[in-house]
Structure 1
Amino acid sequence: MASPSSLRIVHCFRSPVGGIFRHVRDLADAQAAAGHQVGIVCDSTTGGAFEEALFDDMKDTLALGVHRTPMQRHIGPGDAASAWRTFKIIKELQPDVLHGHGAKGGAYARLFGSLLRVSRSRVARLYSPHGGSLHYDERTATGKLFFAIERTMAFFTDYLLFVSDYERQAYRRKVGEPRVPNVLVYNGLRDGEFEPVAAETDAADLLYIGMMRDLKGPDIFIDALAQAEIRSERTISAVMVGDGDDLPRYHAQVKRLGLDNRIRFFPPMPARRAFALAHVVVVPSRAEAMPYIVLETLAAGKPMIASAVGGIPEIFGPDSPALVQPDAIEIGEKMDQALTDLDAYRQAMPQTSVLKSRFGADVMAAEIEKAYFAALAG
């Protein structure tokens, strides 16, 4: 077992974009600052220049380095080769703690941790779903398959870490009561992220920032803006920031609706830089666990509209006027309402002091470290 003062921690996940990557970066920074040796293993085919810059910023912090190898998103013929490459990397790193994030990272971490145990390596196997396979409908064939796999994987898990109560309840409903110790640890922000961000003088009305895939609702955002224009009888401007395989389809949607002179697209950029580009942030997701972008937006003092899905109501409170269904008509109505009296709408957002007490990065890292040592002692 590792010494009480220092652990060799390896975070394994597939896609170095979005909330999971943000979560791992924050954890890795905090764990390195606490004296642990930390490394990352993830996919080499996902991400672009923005993500490369983030990895470059981390290189001096991660004693165990960044190791990237091709990982498929879905189960397929290439999985065996990908798994073998990943296992060899992890074995060489000799982790005390193997922390898997998301469905693919969680499967790899638990399977490879178990293989290392066969060779008498005492490694703790932890899993953070971050939504992942829990988004599937348990009534479908795909959902039944994934949840059967999750039930099997429970035998190779030492500790479960949930980022929202919604996620924990979804696990209980779809997979079953956890067989191992588990804890709810909310995502956390750094102190500097609670400083307000003012909109630029020529800022757009609305901002979408996130992955360009239907799960996150960019198509809903575009349709909702069209609905808001009809409702308000005025021109509304917007900025969409992000990247993803479905981006060309959203470009086509904007053109088809005649909105190409009102909606501008930008590649990924730091969230706080994007916040200055618009007055109101919209998160129209169809499914979420505990999205960082909601926390970051509110901490920056930006008014927002967000889907009442996943753990988002746990941030706002269930009766917040900012919460909507992921529906273009409903979101369009809320866009019109927010832009009609922005100051009044801003007053309905959660107070910064309350957010800071619940969603601090220091709180998150300390709770997860406790889980690591409990898993090792178990």
Structure 2
Amino acid sequence: MAEPKLRILQVMRAPVGGLFRHVADLTRALSDMGHDVGLVVDSLANDAQTEGKLAALLPYASLGIHRFAMPRVLGRGDLVTPLGVRKLARSLNVDVLHGHGAKGGFYARLAKIGGGRAAAVYTPHGGVLHFSRASRSGRIFHRLERMLMGQTGAIVFESAYAQKTYSALIGEPTCPTRIIHNGLTPDEFVPVPPDADASDFVFVGELRDLKGIYVLVEALAGVTRPDGQRATLTLAGDGPHRATLVEQIGKLGLTDRITLPGAQPARAMFARGRCIVVPSLAESLPYIVLEAAAAQLPVIATNVGGIPEIFSGTAGSLILPGDAPALQQAMQRILDDPQSAQAEMAVRLTRIESSFSLASMAGQIEELYQSLLLKT
């Protein structure tokens, strides 16, 4: 017997980074399965790139793309938007409200207060997990999480790390939980060979301190090629700490060794380097590690978040976050022994091919939706 067609509203704040990648992939996959999907996004931080990404999703969003004010920190929109989302969900007669990230999760579950037939599903994507209990914001967000547990049909964690961290910070969830890893499409497993003039290393991500950018630049300073030439780096991305990063690059005399092409698609940037470096200080389950490994690039990464789950079988090569000397040594090893780096890459590729597919991710989430609706 075929499963019933669902009406699903995905709620998120800003269409950037891995969170948007996850929602976009899930939207396309659910639409291809025959379900009706809509999106709720922020109206405050849109730009041309944002609008282009959303326009590309329109053919898969049969329930439309709807904009509400979603302030990055607590603000007036946090009082008004949940009411708007609830009204929208009822007018669209949705079966599932799936909130992504801290704000998306709050709005989806706050929209349940006062009744409504839709099941509320929540995926943290890091979000509240990155707030310390010692900070005022952390205490507020963690308290809200506990208050909203009763409105939560299920929580989807993209890694075992996220599940463990959530329980430690907020408390053991009283609702059902699932660990469902992010997944890749078949075309992402096509190898990306380096350009003839590729840098030795490439970083792709937001330029902010949490991504370990300062540590990476410091580490690069002491790395040399076997021929005695200084190693080079392409830093692809943009973000709030770009100016201070450029200042650091200048002070260390690395301007001629580092290229800053700005924000670019990850796969296009893979050809600009021979090894990708992910020096993050904190992560959940970063797509960039999956994408680079699937494209058959050697990967240097830190031992944070769910990265060890991706590196299963090769986790011994992970380094401590914030440790510039250790990162320098890892980068030097790649240049000194490329054969070992390729062998490790092959082991990691096999792991990702078997455990991180989009079909598996979407299928498990669809199954969760259906199971929740059977209980209503």
- Interval containing the TM-score (normalised by the shorter chain): over 0.9
**Aligned equivalent of 1:359:** 356
**Aligned equivalent of 1:239:** 234
Distance in 2 between residues matched to 1:51 and 1:232, nearest whole Å: 43
- Alignment equivalent of 2:141, drawn from 132, 135, 146: 146
Show CA shifts across 1:208-256 (max 9, x none). 1011222122222212212435999641211111122222222222222
Report the alpha carbon displacement of residue 11 of structure 1 after superposing the two structures with TM. 0.8
Contact persistence 2:319–2:326 (CA under 8 A) = yes
Secondary structure, counterpart of 2:60 in structure 1 = coil
Are positions 1:305 and 2:304 aligned together? no
Distance in 1 between residues matched to 2:122 and 2:374, nearest whole Å: 17
RMSD, aligned α-carbons: 2.2
Deviates more, 1:134-143 or 1:26-35: 134-143
Deviates more, 1:328-337 or 1:22-31: 328-337
Show CA shifts across 1:147-166 (max 9, x none). 22211111110111000000
Deviates more, 1:105-114 or 1:211-220: 211-220
AA paired with 1:375? Answer: L
Show CA shifts across 1:111-141 (max 9, x none). 01334x2xxx310100001111112223444
Secondary structure, counterpart of 1:59 in structure 2 = helix
Distance in 1 between residues matched to 2:271 and 2:46, nearest whole Å: 23
Percent identity over the alignment? Answer: 39
Superposed, 1:7-156 pairs within 5 Å as: 7-46=6-45, 48-115=47-114, 117=115, 121-156=116-151
**Aligned equivalent of 1:250:** 245
Distance in 2 between residues matched to 1:305 and 1:288, nearest whole Å: 14
Give the count of matched residue pairs. 372
Distance in 1 between residues matched to 2:263 and 2:328, nearest whole Å: 25
AA paired with 2:274? Answer: H
**Aligned equivalent of 1:330:** 326
Contact persistence 1:281–1:302 (CA under 8 A) = yes
Deviates more, 1:221-230 or 1:367-376: 221-230
Distance in 2 between residues matched to 1:371 and 1:377, nearest whole Å: 10
From the superposition, tell whether residues 257 and 92 of structure 1 become closer, same or farther in structure 2 (CA, over 3 Å).
farther
Are positions 1:217 and 2:216 aligned together? no
**Aligned equivalent of 1:283:** 278
Contact persistence 2:205–2:236 (CA under 8 A) = yes
Are positions 1:368 and 2:361 aligned together? no
Secondary structure, counterpart of 1:110 in structure 2 = helix
Distance in 1 between residues matched to 2:55 and 2:137, nearest whole Å: 37
* Misfit runs of 4+, over 6 Å: 230-233
Show CA shifts across 1:31-67 (max 9, x none). 0000011111112344644443322222112111222
Distance in 2 between residues matched to 1:303 and 1:138, nearest whole Å: 36
TM-score relative to the length of structure 1 = 0.92
Deviates more, 1:265-274 or 1:126-135: 265-274
AA paired with 1:370? Answer: E
Superposed, 1:337-356 pairs within 5 Å as: 337-349=333-345, 350-356=347-353
Contact persistence 1:100–1:127 (CA under 8 A) = yes
Secondary structure, counterpart of 2:201 in structure 1 = strand
Unaligned runs of 5+ in 1: none
From the superposition, tell whether residues 301 and 47 of structure 1 become closer, same or farther in structure 2 (CA, over 3 Å).
farther
Show CA shifts across 1:77-133 (max 9, x none). 453345555555445433211100111110001001334x2xxx3101000011111
Secondary structure, counterpart of 2:221 in structure 1 = helix
TM-score relative to the length of structure 2 = 0.92
Contact persistence 1:231–1:333 (CA under 8 A) = no
From the superposition, tell whether residues 169 and 318 of structure 1 become closer, same or farther in structure 2 (CA, over 3 Å).
farther
Contact persistence 1:125–1:375 (CA under 8 A) = no
**Aligned equivalent of 2:156:** 161
Report the alpha carbon displacement of residue 332 of structure 1 after superposing the two structures with TM. 1.3
Distance in 1 between residues matched to 2:45 and 2:344, nearest whole Å: 37
Contact persistence 1:207–1:239 (CA under 8 A) = yes
From the superposition, tell whether residues 46 and 356 of structure 1 become closer, same or farther in structure 2 (CA, over 3 Å).
farther
Distance in 2 between residues matched to 1:229 and 1:93, nearest whole Å: 59
Secondary structure, counterpart of 2:203 in structure 1 = strand
Secondary structure, counterpart of 2:276 in structure 1 = strand
